[in-house]
Structure 1
Amino acid sequence: MQIVVAPDSFKGTATAAAVASALADGWTSERPEDDLVLAPMADGGEGTLDAFATAVPDAVRVPVTVTGPAGTPVDTSWLRLPDGRAVVELAATSGLPLLAEPLPGTATSRGFGEAIAAALDAGATGLVLGIGGSASTDGGRPVLEALGADTGGTDPTAGLRPLPPLGVTVLTDVTSPLLGPDGAAAVFGPQKGIAPDRVAWFEDQLATWAARFPAVDPTTPGAGAAGGVGFALLAWGAALTRGAEGVAEVLGLPALLRGADVVLTGEGRYDGQSAAGKVPSVVRSLAAAHAPAARTMLVAGEVDAPLDGFDAGASLTVIATQTTGEPSDALRDPLRFATIAGQRLARTA
């Protein structure tokens, strides 16, 4: 059988490429005759750079040192694609995992802007920007400043460098507006350390910032992504797109799915938000369109929602509990249990 393995990263524990390999190893141990195609996915957050690097063998990583979310230097890289575009991942420059603890009041997105500027200085003719996993709620102001904007002046876009010839595509798995009960501060602030009684203050700061750009609609889906970085990129003239769908298109996933008998996807936590454009839902939808006869299977660190639409599934936490008696082992050694998940799902094929 033809098996396509297309998981997201298991955030904070394992990359998409590592998870795909572990699932494939487990599957092959049970069904060595099957033909497996590994297509690690991403949604604009952690692992986006790796997904593009895997999909485009001629891509080149370019090292760069930027200001990290805590204000200290971070050594990271951006990816040069053969067509001249550059891929820059916010999670690798200004992401929450780069902090020892959340810094809601001081975390900055400046390093993301610095990496973008470095790619443009190196001759990038277009940009693909993944903006998931941010540590800050600063409206993206430091990003625009790193791109030359004088945000303290009467025109906050004065000095802002022009868009590259091939434009700027922004990949985000978030459809939230900038402001309001579904916005950057209210929904995502708490996971970045914002206390409930401080949400209103951050909301006011974002509203004041947004008012300086009367031509930019803060209700645009995705404007609230990355603590408002989505809004700042809209102000620059960038186009926002659903992250997993954009990555799948660049990876050529629809073509890989044609003729598949089984499609195996996954993410770290499958919950009620997973159906809203996350990798598993996008892979499942593409499989339905391009491999309608294929069985779709899900593997997740934790499963907290019904597996509607999937033919089979496996939880690493459940497998760890059954194997060692310690559900937390799934976090400590996810690849071990992903391999077991691959074995078990292969038995159902």
Structure 2
Amino acid sequence: MRKIVVVPDSFKGTLSSIDFCRVAKKALDGEVIAVPVADGGEGTVDCFLEMGWNPVSATVTGPLFESVEAVYAVRGDTAVLESATACGLDLSGGLVMKATTYGVGELIEHAVEVSGCKSIILGLGGSGTNDGGCGALCALGAKFYDSLGNSFVPVGGTLGLIADIDASELPDIDLTLMCDVSTTFLDAAVIFAPQKGADETEVLELTAGLMHLASFMPGIENVPGGGAAGGLGAGLHFFLKGKIVSGIDAILDAVDFENLISDADFVITGEGKLDESSVSGKVVSGVARRAAALNVPCIAVCGAAEIDGTALNLSAVHVISTKSKTLEELKKTIKDDLYAKLKEL
């Protein structure tokens, strides 16, 4: 019986990675192992739950210091968390100046202390915060002091009040940060704060606050991805030594991809449109590169293709349908079209 490993990206606007995997399990003959992909934002935990990881619930502090219920995924001693479940844009009410990542730190602590996890994978997408990770660090034991020596939990609008930081009580955690943006720390507010509710004046204030916080974190300004989740990436990278990696690499590492495909007949990946941007993209290129290293054939199934896949080390490229359809028509037929194409493989 043939073994097929399926690792697709989403088809933007028409098909999620999870739905692609579900169709593949129905259409393909043989042992089908599906690995749905997320970029660290909303839906990251769902992808791991789809793969059979166990859900764990925790009550943590929300972005406006209210209680919220968050769910993360656990397998063995590894946990996958989403920062958005504790400080997401949908929870912050556009109040980015007052929003905290405190609940993210509580979520990490819960995974370590309650679930007994030794390795934490944290998705950084979809936050409604811009506190540089100070809230999360406070929840994990860091102390932030103002000029009068009073300890406080900094938020985006009060970063400039930080006079001293005591990080001596922070735990030693094996932390991986899933991030598919290269935004640096000092650009976090300029690029993302407006969509979180900040006006022009507040963007300037938030940027000034991040610049002040950066003075306590030498060299942090140039770390790619440090600006993810309003600087949460930088804070956890600097103080907890968290490793910032792309979403696809974090997922492939978490499922032990090389071992998974070592005896596979072939790998299937895919995305909505295969073009020149795919070469420097994340999912298709990442999957194909790692499959090629083990000489395992990798096939791409796409909605459209402008390149033949040679530059991506793809064994073949299959286009689902060449018929011109509107977006609304595609939404209705994409699963059936995908099923029909996969049946041909």
TM over 0.5: yes
Amino acid paired to 2:71: S
Distance 1:339 1:285, change over 3 A: farther
Note if 1:62 corresponds to 2:50. no
Amino acid paired to 1:213: M
Distance 1:226 1:249, change over 3 A: same
Distance 1:61 1:292, change over 3 A: closer
Match of 1:140 among 128, 133, 139: 133
User: Matches of residues 119-138 of structure 1 in structure 2 within 5 Å?
Assistant: 119-122=111-114, 123-138=116-131
SS in 2 for 1:156: strand
Note if 1:161 corresponds to 2:164. no
Whole-angstrom CA distance in 2 between matches of 1:346 and 1:101: 46
Q: CA deviation at 1:233?
A: 0.3
Identity percentage of aligned residues: 32
Whole-angstrom CA distance in 2 between matches of 1:63 and 1:100: 20
TM-score (norm 2): 0.75
Q: CA deviation at 1:329?
A: 6.1
Match of 1:344 among 312, 324, 341: 341
Amino acid paired to 2:182: T
Query: 2:160: which partner in 1?
Result: none
Note if 1:118 corresponds to 2:110. yes
Query: 2:82: which partner in 1?
Result: 89
Q: CA deviation at 1:201?
A: 3.4
User: Does structure 1 conserve the Cα–Cα contact (< 8 Å) formed by 2:64 and 2:92?
Assistant: no
Query: 1:312: which partner in 2?
Result: 317
Distance 1:37 1:86, change over 3 A: closer
SS in 1 for 2:285: helix
Distance 1:3 1:119, change over 3 A: closer
User: Does structure 1 conserve the Cα–Cα contact (< 8 Å) formed by 2:92 and 2:128?
Assistant: no
Whole-angstrom CA distance in 2 between matches of 1:77 and 1:127: 14
Aligned residue pairs total 322
Distance 1:200 1:274, change over 3 A: farther
Query: 1:237: which partner in 2?
Result: 240
User: Does structure 2 conserve the Cα–Cα contact (< 8 Å) formed by 1:287 and 1:296?
Assistant: no
Whole-angstrom CA distance in 1 between matches of 2:135 and 2:199: 23
Q: Find the structure with the greater CA-based Rg.
A: 2
Q: CA deviation at 1:66?
A: 2.0
User: Matches of residues 202-217 of structure 1 in structure 2 within 5 Å?
Assistant: 202-214=206-218, 216-217=219-220
Whole-angstrom CA distance in 2 between matches of 1:234 and 1:92: 20
Note if 1:170 corresponds to 2:177. yes
Whole-angstrom CA distance in 2 between matches of 1:158 and 1:187: 28
Structure 1 residue ranges without an equivalent (≥5) = none
Distance 1:23 1:191, change over 3 A: farther
SS in 1 for 2:221: coil
Whole-angstrom CA distance in 2 between matches of 1:115 and 1:344: 41
Structure with more relative contact order (C-alpha pairs < 8 Å, separation 6 or more): 1
Whole-angstrom CA distance in 2 between matches of 1:270 and 1:196: 37
Amino acid paired to 1:207: M
Note if 1:76 corresponds to 2:70. yes
Structure 2 residue ranges without an equivalent (≥5) = 147-162
SS in 2 for 1:45: coil
Whole-angstrom CA distance in 1 between matches of 2:307 and 2:188: 27
Note if 1:152 corresponds to 2:153. no
Distance 1:232 1:246, change over 3 A: same
Note if 1:41 corresponds to 2:37. yes
User: Does structure 2 conserve the Cα–Cα contact (< 8 Å) formed by 1:150 and 1:158?
Assistant: yes
Whole-angstrom CA distance in 2 between matches of 1:250 and 1:225: 21
